Amino acid sequence: MGAALLSFALAASAADPFADAFWHKDLGLLVALLAEPGDWREDEARALFADLVRLVNCEPLPPIPNADPTPLREERQLIRLERARRARLGAAAASSATLWRDILSTAFFNRALGAGPEGTVLFWPVETEKWSNEALRAKVRASACAAVGAATAPGQAKSATELELASDVLLLNLRRAAAPDKTLRPAAARLAYQRAVLLARAGQTEAAKQAAAQILPPELLGPALSKYALLLRLELGVDPPEGYAALYGQSFGANQAAVDERLAYGLHRSGSWALLEKVTAAPRAMAPAALCDKAGSPLPRDLLYRHALAQEKLGATAEVDAVLAQAFPACASLTEPAVDALKDLAITHYARRTLDAALEQRLKELDPPGRLARDVQKLGARALHAGNLTTAGMAMGWLITDRTATGRARGWVLEAEIAYALQDGKRFDRAVQSIFPDPAFDSLRAHERDERDRAVEELAQALVTTAEDEADADFRKRLHAQLPVWRERAAIKREPSFNALLAALESRPVPLGGDKRKRPTAEVAVGSIQVAPPEAVIPPPEVQFDWPEPYSLLAVPPPPGAPRGADFRAWFGEGDDAKR
Amino acid sequence: MSALLLAATLLAAAPAPAAEPPPPLSPGLEGAPVRVERRLLVKNSHFFFTLGADYFIRGDYYVSPGVVGAASFYLTEHDGLDIKVGAFLSFMSPAAQVVFQSVHLIPDAQRPVALLVAGYRRSVGYGKVMLNGLMDSLLHFDLQIAGHAGIVITDRMASPALSVAPALLVRFSDRWFAQVDVELYASYETRQSAPFVVGILPTFTAGVVL
């Protein structure tokens, strides 16, 4: 309480002349006031404003004695913290969104001894007699700010780092002072935020979390910074993820894509398609070349995928087509989860249509050359599962007349799947026979056989997993007869997979091949599994936030005309975070 | 006595006082604080026109009151040029009149009639004065030295003349001011005695600044 009362008293009286000069940016007057002898009651304010002059003029800051801590000790330490920030920013300080941009501008403070044309200003010695129209002023020493890292005086030990100065002790003391004196609470919140950001950048997540937990409430940081404080608390796990929704509609500048990504992931998980569609709309404005630039961030592509998914869920077919036309063929050669998922979504989307020349062209644009047959097979399978037998049949017809052997093999695999879905045994047998012709006439090369074997294995998995529910007894018997044949004809490396599928079909434990340490497992087909589009929510790509810093970390007594109980201020007008 | 000895012993044994650390420099200060004031009596690039009275004292048996007008232009706050024109209402002094009436001798000195000089002014100081602490009585003034050259026209000739003077320019308001000069004149006149004539010419004028 003593600290609070004294700081109020300082703000109300002893600090007034200094604060008045400071808030009028009148360095010439402030320096003169500090040079004049004063009352002992001014000592605390005098020390604080002397430090401020040293800060803005980049003069060495003397150490604060450890003994006999004074009420303004924390405020003076904040000045040293600000100096350390300048050392870190280096040459970039002049253009940074910090008070250093102002300090390093020579015109920001009035340093003139007197204003007026040459010869029109009169200088009188400082005497006890005070005449009207005479103003106390001093010639201000030239700023030493041009030298980067001017924080250390000659012969002085290396300055403490920013993180050392923004210590938990300082934060604790400032919060303790702010407990009874609410005028210091914004300064305490700024320090907590800055400490959390510094620790997060240093990878000290747990300590950063503790600091972020002390940004109470974030609104004290002002509108521009409080939303970042909320985001920081969410990222560090101080607040639960549901809090991300509160960030919707707020502008985050260069960090917007990263914030949108966080929002989109949460909305995707919760199936909030309408809001997801809005949050992810930004990449729709990007040119395809910029969107699919390999050197660029994957965030826009991830957002675009989730946007397309939201549109698909909302039934906006035309918009999905537009998104796909934006992304492909520009993104065809990219291999990353979001692009793969978008391709998958495209095939599911197209599977509801008739396979014509236009759709074939769209399929060609999805992937680099050489993958069209695989995509047509996928399209056919998805069409089959969607009940679009026409397109499934057309896809099969397209494949079996393909000029590549693997394409034709895929066509027969698809035909077998169609026959299975129709429970047409003869058709199924004919398809299987075409997949594996007489070995004497099997002209496939090694890599083509591998492709075919993989397609057959995928078919076997699909059939076995659905056999229990969809196949009649006759068909299960037919499948039971075919699986050993497929195992024999496929490459030996696929034998374990076929054994497992055969065991699952027979509902018996899988043979373990002599390893008695493993427990026997039973592979059982338990029912229908959605094999068409995977509904798993792909995790978001890594995002990097460029955490903005408080414009000022200072706590300066308000000017004399401020209302009673006004907060200690951070900086002038626009630089005060509370007003931004 | 023993007490004095003890004190002397203690003083001798005491270590030399540690050197005082230098007082910390006042932050940001270069030199010493000053009081700063905008100059009220502004002269730079201004014309000053004055009109007033003077009194030429030469010790020449003539009483020479006069009227004088001057125009000055200041090139800077410190440097100005000016022209003066004056007319004297000279008449013989009562003592000379008595001599003339008794012995019918007239002075060898010439009677000044007019004055025409041009010169230079240099401001050497600025001051202000306030009477009894009354703000309304506050006057700002400029202390100057002036030098002029020209002619003094007498009843017999136009004689070349030089002068130097301390001067005071006093500001009454933004528009009105007064000028006080006390000039020491030297002129050359053809006369039977010494040709150089020295005199003092106090002038008091008032005028406007444009």
Chain B residues with beta carbon closer than 8 angstroms to that of A31: 26-29, 33
B131 close contact with A: CB closer than 8 A: no
Query: What phi, psi does A152 have (nearest 5°)?
Result: -100, 125
The residue in chain B having the minimum alpha-carbon distance to the alpha carbon of residue A117 is: B38
Cα distance between residue B172 and residue B149, in whole Å? 29
**A43 — contact with chain B (CB < 8 Å)?**
no
B30, A32: Cβ pair inside 8 Å?
no
The more confidently predicted of residues A518 and B8 is A518
A331 touching B (Cβ < 8 Å):
no
Chain A nearest-CA distance from B181, in A, is 24
ipTM of the complex: 0.71
Nearest to A79 by CA among A51, A60, A101, A108: A51
Question: For the packed helices A73-89 and A43-56, what is the interaxial angle rounded to 10 degrees?
Answer: 0
One-letter amino acid at B95 equals A
Which of A52, A123, A133 to mutate to test binding with chain B, by most B CBs within 10 Å of its CB?
A: A133
Measured from the Cβ of residue A88, the count of other Cβ atoms closer than 10 Å reads 13
In 3D, which of A464, A544, A549, A458 has the Cα closest to residue A503?
Answer: A464
C-beta atoms of A134 and B126 within 8 A:
no
The rounded distance, in Å, linking the Cα atoms of A392 and A297 is: 37
DSSP A110: B
Q: Which residues pair with A190 in a beta bridge?
A: none
Per CB-CB distance under 8 Å, the chain B contacts of A142 are 30
Q: Which residue type is seen at A114?
A: G
Closest residue by Cα to residue A552 from A530, A569, A533: A569
Tokens 């909320």 label which residue? Answer: A230
Residue pair A113/A28 in contact (Cβ under 8 Å)? The answer is yes
Q: In this complex, is the C-beta atom of A467 within 8 Å of any C-beta atom belonging to chain B?
A: no
CB-CB under 8 Å, A137 with B30: no
pLDDT value at residue A19: 92
Alpha carbon separation from B62 to B153, B194, B199 (Å, rounded): 14, 17, 12
User: Would you list the DSSP string of chain B?
Assistant: -HHHHHHHHHHHHSPPPPPPPPPPPPTTEEEEEEEEEE-SS--TT-EEEEEEEEEEB-SSSEEEEEEEEEEEEESSSSEEEEEEEEEE--EE-HHHHHHHHHH----SSPPEEEEEEEEEEEEEEEEEE-STT-GGG-EEEEEEEEEEEEEEEESS-EEEEEEEEEEEEEESSSSEEEEEEEEEEEEE---SS-SEEEEEEEEEEEEEE-
Using the Cβ of A441 and the Cβ atoms of chain B, whether some distance falls under 8 Å is answered with no
What domains are defined for chain B?
Answer: 40-209 (2.40.160)
Strand, helix or coil for residue A429? helix
Distance from CA of B116 to the nearest CA of A (A): 31
Q: Which of A18, A49, A122 to mutate to test the interface with B (most CBs of B within 10 A)?
A: A122
Measured between CB atoms, does A19 come within 8 Å of chain B?
Answer: no
| B130 contacts on A by Cβ (under 8 Å) | 131
Q: Is the dihedral of CA B74, B75, B81, B85 positive or negative?
A: negative
Beta pairing partners, B164 = B147, B184
Residue ranges of the alpha helices (H) in A150-251? 162-165, 168-178, 185-201, 205-212, 223-235
Question: Is A31 close to B36, i.e. CB distance below 8 A?
Answer: no
SS3 A404: coil
Say which of B29, B35, B77 has its CB closest to residue A35. Answer: B29
Rounded distance, CA A238 to CA A259, Å? 17
pLDDT of residue A13: 63
Tokens of B48: 């000053």
Q: What is the pLDDT, as a whole number, of residue A491?
A: 78
- Residue A93 to chain B, least CA–CA distance (Å): 21
Put simply, whether the predicted model's pTM sits higher than 0.80 gets the answer no
Distance CA B61, CA A92 (A): 85
Q: What is the dihedral of CA A253, A258, A260, A265, to 10 degrees?
A: -170
What is the residue-wise DSSP string for B15-65?
Answer: PPPPPPPPPPPPTTEEEEEEEEEE-SS--TT-EEEEEEEEEEB-SSSEEEE
Q: Which A residues in the span 243-272 are in contact with B, Cβ-Cβ below 8 Å?
A: none
Question: Residue A363, Cα to own-chain centre: how many angstroms?
Answer: 32
Report the C-alpha gap between A256 and A282 in whole angstroms: 9
Measured in degrees and rounded to the nearest 5, phi and psi for residue B139 equal -120, 135
Pairwise CB contact (< 8 Å): B77 & A131:
no
Mean pLDDT (chain A) is 84
Question: With a CB-CB cutoff of 8 Å, which residues 534-563 of chain A face chain B?
Answer: none
pLDDT score recorded for residue B151: 94
Structure tokens at A509: 């434990």
Q: What pLDDT, on a 0 to 100 scale, did the predictor assign at position A285?
A: 94
Tokens representing residue A532 in the block: 């068409």
* Residue whose C-alpha is closest to residue A120's, from A109, A110, A112, A128: A112
Average pLDDT rounded to a whole number, residues B183-200: 87
Interior angle at CA A369, CA A365 and CA A375, nearest 5: 65
> Which tokens is A114 given?
């007197």
Phi (first) and psi of residue A345, to 5 degrees: -60, -40
Contacts 24+ apart (CB under 8 A), B189-194: B189/B109, B189/B110, B189/B154, B189/B156, B189/B157, B189/B159, B190/B156, B190/B157, B191/B108, B191/B109, B191/B110, B192/B108, B193/B108
The reported pLDDT for the residue numbered A69 is 65
| Cis preceding-peptide flag for A329 (omega within 30 of 0) | yes
Task: Give the SS3 label for residue A552.
Answer: coil
Do residue A125 and residue B28 have CB atoms under 8 angstroms apart?
Answer: no
Closest CA to B135 of A121, A133, A128, A125: A133
Partner residues linked to A218 by β-bridges: none
Which mean pLDDT values do the consecutive 10-residue runs of chain A (580 residues) have? 46 75 93 87 88 93 76 90 92 92 91 77 82 86 74 53 91 88 90 95 93 92 91 90 83 87 87 91 93 91 95 94 95 92 94 92 90 91 91 92 86 89 87 78 75 84 78 81 83 83 72 53 44 67 88 91 82 73
Which structure tokens are listed for A239? Answer: 């607040």
The residues spanned by each domain of chain A are 2-114+137-237+550-579
Nearest chain A residue to B79 by CA: give it.
Answer: A119
pLDDT of res. B54: 95
> Which uninterrupted H or E stretch holds A379?
helix A372-385
pLDDT (average), residues B178-185: 95
Residue from A144, A165, A155, A151 nearest A61 by CA: A151
Chain B interface includes A203 (CB < 8 A):
no
Chain B: give the shortest CA distance to residue A238, in Å: 43
Q: Is the Cβ of A135 closer than 8 Å to some Cβ of chain B?
A: yes
